[in-house]
Every structure is written in structure tokens, then in C-alpha cells.
Structure 1
Amino acid sequence: MQTPRILPLTALILACAPLVTQAATPSEPVVLKLAHSLPPMSAAHTRFIVPWCERIEVQSGGRMKCQIYPAMSLGGAPAQLLQQARDGIADITWTLPGWTPGRFPLSEVFELPFFTSDRESSSRALWDFVEHNAMSEFAGLKPIGTWVTGPYVFHFRDREVRNLDDFKGLKVRAPSRLGNKMLAALGATPVGMPVPQMPESLAKGVIGGALVPWEVVPPTKTHELTRFHAEAAGDRTMLAATMIFVMNRKKYDSLPDDLRKVIDDNSGRDTSAWIAAQFEPADTAAREMTVARGNAVYAITPEEMLKWQAATRSVTEEWTREVANGQQHYDAAAALVARYAKP
């Protein structure tokens, strides 16, 4: 008479067992696919991407972490990183807006010649400018950081350039649309290309020089492919590129509130300035490495720089005419650069 009661109880226990097991199993952490274009030994990878990922993992209690895909190991070309983030192929990407001309017409103002000051201050200014004037450029994305590079430096294969006449007939790699225009205004022949394509072009003599910040030099072996390095004098950067660290908006929105807060706490003006600062030691180390190799590193004289500023003024004038409300946006960005600039 007891058997009928035992069988239902046994069946009930067996039926509940999967539920008990499921409740006891901790939820899997959210893994964010993070893609970028440079090798794992680059300053971008070691000094800001890995530390940022470690920070969100700690602050989320291990519930959120990154799976990093350096050197385009997730697939595609550097110029596709922006779209990879928008399409959700990657959850987060670090990229340069200059690789996708026309997609960031307003924030491009920070890439005008002789516009930015020190990198941390101008990165704070860029974040504020984007937040108040250019969020439409980030449709489908959650901005994490927006910053400017350190000063761009000329690196030449076999020609020492000290004045405008020395640029004639010289093909030089440029980082962006406005970089192309600046080089043309200086008298050089601009050749636009992403950084990963630059070393082979220098080695084969396709270009005679390249315009990149110092921190890019070691991972691309630019110091081994060039002999002369010209730095600009003055308190305004001759040229800087904007960089962005962005997250797919749907992925961000899908996170629970507390994990979104972790992302928010590691985004914004201060994060942008922090990221920019991480490249400065790499700039210093790369310059010292180049000098130790015996390459010629020299500064363009202040007198000559005034001529370069005059020659490139047309680039700024053209930008303000081309962009809707260009002068208004230029004035707003310039005011932010001046507000945050170090005394």
C-alpha cells in the first residue's frame, strides 16, 4: 500500500533535481569581444586596453570581462572597426575616426593643424565637445572614451626636412583627411593609409616619410625604416588625430543596471584624459630608443613653424566653410581647448 506513495515522491525528487542543480550553478560572466588593430606589444594594448579590461572585471566582481582580439584577429581591416562595433561583430572597438572619412565631420575639428594643446587637456575638451555637439556621429554606439593623440612627428627615410622647400616631391603617409590636406598645404604629396600598412610602404619606398606620434614607432619598427625625425615647436600641436573607444549600444543596453554602471564609471571625460595619458610614457621611450639608434631627431625652428602655420591656415578656413555651422563649431571647440589647457 506504500508503493504508490513512494513512486510519486521519487519522481518529484528526480524532477526537481535539475532545478536544484541549475539554481546552484553561478551565472556565466558577460564576455565582451574587444577588437583593435595594433599588436599585443603596442602601448594601446598594454597600457590602456588591458588595464581598462582588468578594471571592469574587478569592479563587476568577475561578472564582466573582456576577450581581446588585437591586430585585427577578429577579422576585417582597420577601417572596418567602427562598423564592426555598430554591427555587433565586436562589442567594443578602439579605432581612429580618420579611417572612415566623412563619418565624424564635427569632431574632426580637433584634427585641424595647430588646434590642440597637451593631450590630456584636449582630450577632456574633445569629450565635452562630442557630448554637447556631436553625439549624432555615434549612432548605434556607446562612447567610452574620446581623446587626441600626442603630437604627430615626421619620420623620413632618407631626406632631412627642415623647411617648406624640402617637402617638394616627397610622398608622406598621413593619418586622416585633414592630415592629407595639411601635407598638401606644406608642399608634400599626401598618401593616406592606416598604420598597419605603413611599415611595408616605408620599406619598399612607396612613401618617403610618415606622420605618426612617437608611441607608434616601436611596434611598427619605424625607427628601423627611417633616419630623420622632425618635431614641431610651439605650444599648439602641429597635428593630432582623434581616437575613440566605443561599445555597441545594443550590447550596452542589454547589460543589467549594475554592469552598465561599471561601464559608465569607466567612461567619460576623466577616462578620456586617463587613456590619453597612458601613451605619454610610450612616446618618451620611443623617442629615446630612436636617439639611441643614432637617428637624427631635431626640432623645426619656431621661425619656420610660423611659415608652416601660415601655409596650413587654408585647411582650417576650408573646414569652416564645408561643415554646416562650421565657424560656430570651431569656436565652441576652440573655447573648450582653451578652457582645459594647462597654464
Structure 2
Amino acid sequence: MRLVARLALVLGTVTLLASGPAPAAAQQVTLRVHQFLPARAPVPSNFIAPWAKKVEADSKGRIKVELYPSMQLGGTPPQLFDQVKDGVVDVVWTLPGYTPGRFPRSEAFELPFIAGNAEKTSQAAWEYYEKHLRDEFKDIKPIAVHTHGPGLLHVKGNGVRKLEDMKGLKLRGPSRQVNKLLETLGATPVGMPVPAMPDALSKGVIDGTVVPWEVTLPLRVAELVNTHTSFSGNRSLYVSIFVFAMNKKKYESLPPDLKQVIDANSGPVTSRWVGQVMDEGDAPGLAVAKKRGNAIVVLDAKETARWKAVAQQVTTAWIAEMKGKGIDGQALVDDARRLITKYVGPED
């Protein structure tokens, strides 16, 4: 009996060794996504939430994505970039322009009358990032680099119907370059993140704002102004550049197969997707303004040309400023224009 027992023990040990150790459970990852707009706004609802579901599905549930809109995890919109850089959160959607002067090369896309619609310009923005912005964004893992659609003027009262109407208006601007543009055009710029804009309008702190149509709906801008002014042609007064990005260390900590999931949901196609969502969000905003009876003003080609001539001062000044920093601003503007023309087509 002892021999049988001893033989059984040996055979059991051999079987256990042959089978190897039990496989470790597949790594589970949670990504916390933090951003500044309400969950129902176009980008959070029609891009970030679907992106999160796709990542979860592609990872077969090994990546879980938690969404935190409206700065629910604390801080202010200008702090979002550092939140993702420092690992306070895992993913953010934000504007580099919220931290003035920190990302100078990205400002080329925010110069006046350089960009077109969001879907096409966002493809150019990703290509521009790959060529010119890798160093500025070296501390994060960009998932998408994109722009919003054409920015326009939303102003109280009779609004803006010619260049001279800008004089003395207090207008909210989103970034350093857009604020310089507003000042050059005769207005008094008031810098603030977009969530602060409705309160500033309702309290009379500002007379108007510049934003694309898509953001006017969740922030109820059409209820707070009377006139909306856009421009002729396929180049807009301005656009802002955005980044949807992941903490670099978090990305690098992923196993290879989960890195592939993130990589497959990043890049030019993803950037185009966000841009498309922003373009599609413009139509409902415009419809609400029309339904309220607000004035919809489109400046004709002759008047638009007057604005372009004055706005050129902003581009010239930016190029000179970049030269002082050892950056070839003219080359950046030329390449930005080339890439935008590649996707948007020639300026008309």
C-alpha cells in the first residue's frame, strides 16, 4: 500500500509539473476620461462615449472606461492637460490654447482665415501633429488631434454686420491667438474657458462670444444673444485645436494587446471622427437660433475680404514672435496651409 501511495504521489507531481502553473488572469484596466463639457454636448455624447464603448468592446471587456464630464473630478479646464500628463486622470479632452504660449507650434492652426470645416481640417491637424507637434506633446499619448468647425460671432443686440461694428465690443475668446485677433479687429477680448461663457453673457460681463455652432446648443447661447455673424468662402474666421490624449505612463503600462486596442482607436481616422461629430453638431445649433428668430448674418465676399486684410496683421505678428523664439513660424504657416488645402481644397 505504501508503494502504491508513493507511486500515486509521484505521478501526481509529474502531472502537475507537466501542466505548468495556472494561467494568470488577463490584466484589467480602468481608464478615467475627464473633460469640461456636459455629457449631452456633441463631442462627449457622439464621440467620447462611443469611443469608450468601442475600446471596451475591442478589448473584450478588459478595458473599462469611466466618463467624467463637466470637470467632475475637480480642477479647471486649463488644468486638464497637466492632469493627464501627471496621471491625475487617464484620458482628457482639452484645448492646448487654454494654457497660453505653452504650445506655440499648435497655434498655427488657430490663425485667422486659415482653416475650413472640422472633419477635413482635423485630418490636416493630425498630419501637422505628426510632423510638427510631437515634441510639444511628448509628455502625453495623443489619441486624436482635431479642430472644431468654423468659429463665428454671437453677439447681443444688432450684432456685427460690418468690421466697424466690432469696435468696443467685449467678446469672449478661447485662446491667445483668437484674443489677439479680436483685439486687432477692434473688440476688447475677454479670455475664459467655454463653460464660464453663459454666465458672463447673462450678467453682461461680455457682449458676445466666438464659438462654433455646435457648442451654442448645450450652453444655450442662442437664448443669450440676438445676432450670429459668419463669413463667405470656405475658410473660417478661426478654429481652435483640441487634443484627446492619454497619460503616457498608463499607456506604456498596458500589455501589448491592449496597446494595440488604443492604437487602433487613435490617429487620423479618430481625429476625422471627432471633426465629423463637431460638423454635425453645427446644424442643430443653427436651427435653434433660427427658430428663436435670431438674426443670421453672412458677410459677403467684399466685406469678408476687408476682415481678412486686417486679420493678416495677426499672422504676420505671430510669425515674427515665433522667429524671436527660434521657431520658423513662416514654415509652420505654409505647411499648415498646404495640409489644410490638401483636405479642404483651395481657398475660395
**Pairs aligned (count):** 331
Which residue in the other structure is 1:333 paired with?
A: 336
Which residue in the other structure is 1:12 paired with?
A: none
Counterpart Cα distance in 2 of 1:67 and 1:76: 18
Q: How does 1:1-343 map to 2 (within 5 A)?
A: 26-27=25-26, 29-323=28-322, 324-342=327-345
Q: Could you tell me whether the CA contact under 8 Å between 1:164 and 1:308 is conserved in 2?
A: yes
Q: Which residue type is aligned with residue 100 of structure 2? A: P
TM norm structure 2 = 0.90
Residues 58-90 of structure 1, C-alpha deviations (whole Å, 9 max, x = no match) = 111111121111000011001100000001011
Q: Could you tell me whether the CA contact under 8 Å between 2:33 and 2:91 is conserved in 1?
A: yes
Counterpart Cα distance in 1 of 2:114 and 2:106: 12
Q: Could you tell me whether the CA contact under 8 Å between 1:47 and 1:279 is conserved in 2?
A: no
Q: Which residue type is aligned with residue 116 of structure 1? A: A
Q: Which residue type is aligned with residue 69 of structure 1? A: Y
Q: Comparing 204-213 with 272-281, which one deviates more in the overlay?
A: 272-281
SS in 1 for 2:204: coil
Counterpart Cα distance in 1 of 2:296 and 2:22: 64
Counterpart Cα distance in 1 of 2:123 and 2:312: 25
Q: Which residue type is aligned with residue 284 of structure 1? A: A
Residues 103-146 of structure 1, C-alpha deviations (whole Å, 9 max, x = no match) = 21012100000001232222111111111112111121011000
SS in 1 for 2:135: helix
Q: Which residue type is aligned with residue 31 of structure 1? A: T
Q: Could you tell me whether the CA contact under 8 Å between 1:121 and 1:342 is conserved in 2?
A: no
Q: Which residue type is aligned with residue 278 of structure 2? A: F
Q: Which residue type is aligned with residue 137 of structure 2? A: F
Counterpart Cα distance in 2 of 1:29 and 1:297: 51
Deviation, 1:98, is 1.0
Q: Which residue type is aligned with residue 169 of structure 1? A: G
SS in 2 for 1:39: coil
Counterpart Cα distance in 1 of 2:334 and 2:222: 38
Residues 24-80 of structure 1, C-alpha deviations (whole Å, 9 max, x = no match) = 995463110110000111111101000100111111111112111100001100110
Identity %: 44
Residues 168-203 of structure 1, C-alpha deviations (whole Å, 9 max, x = no match) = 111001111111111111111111110011000000
Counterpart Cα distance in 1 of 2:111 and 2:300: 21
Counterpart Cα distance in 1 of 2:238 and 2:270: 22
RMSD: 2.2
Deviation, 1:342, is 4.1
Q: What runs of 5+ residues in structure 1 fail to find an aligned partner? A: 10-15, 17-21
Counterpart Cα distance in 2 of 1:186 and 1:163: 11
Q: Could you tell me whether the CA contact under 8 Å between 2:117 and 2:279 is conserved in 1?
A: no
Deviation, 1:23, is 5.6
TM norm structure 1 = 0.92
Q: Could you tell me whether the CA contact under 8 Å between 2:116 and 2:149 is conserved in 1?
A: no
Counterpart Cα distance in 2 of 1:326 and 1:281: 32
SS in 1 for 2:33: strand
SS in 2 for 1:279: helix
Counterpart Cα distance in 1 of 2:110 and 2:207: 23
Deviation, 1:231, is 1.3
Q: Could you tell me whether the CA contact under 8 Å between 1:123 and 1:273 is conserved in 2?
A: yes
Q: What runs of 5+ residues in structure 2 fail to find an aligned partner? A: 10-15
Counterpart Cα distance in 1 of 2:315 and 2:50: 36
Q: Could you tell me whether the CA contact under 8 Å between 1:140 and 1:250 is conserved in 2?
A: no
Counterpart Cα distance in 2 of 1:237 and 1:167: 17
Q: Could you tell me whether the CA contact under 8 Å between 1:153 and 1:230 is conserved in 2?
A: yes
Counterpart Cα distance in 2 of 1:294 and 1:159: 13
